[in-house]
């Protein structure tokens, strides 16, 4: 690549061909797939959180019972 003043004196060429980017149809498809994945994933995540809370409370109960027995 040339350096210095010679490089900056060259005229810029316009980009020929198709413009870069996504079409509206492609964007709609991506958003639709993302929405479907969210609809599937959110209930599973809610169940996971609920189960983790239940396990945590059960472990707390066991810890409190162990403490009560040791006193």
Sequence ranges of the domains in the chain: 22-70
pLDDT, tens digit, 9 for 90 and up, residues 9-61: 666 666 567 778 999 999 999 999 999 999 999 999 999 999 999 999 999 99
Q: Is the pTM of this model over 0.85?
A: no
Query: For 23, what's the count of Cα atoms within 13 Å in the CB-facing half-sphere?
Result: 4
Distance CA 26, CA 17 (A): 19
**CB of 60 within 8 A of CB of 53?**
no
Close Cβ partners of 1 (under 8 Å, ≥ 6 residues apart)? 7
């Amino acid at each position: 690549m040339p350096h210095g003043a010679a490089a900056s004196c060259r005229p810029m060429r316009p980009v020929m061909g198709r413009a870069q980017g996504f079409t509206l149809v492609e964007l709609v498809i991506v958003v639709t797939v993302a929405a479907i994945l969210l609809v599937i994933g959110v209930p599973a995540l809610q169940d996971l959180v609920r189960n983790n809370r239940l396990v945590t409370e059960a472990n707390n109960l066991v810890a409190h019972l162990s403490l009560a027995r040791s006193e």
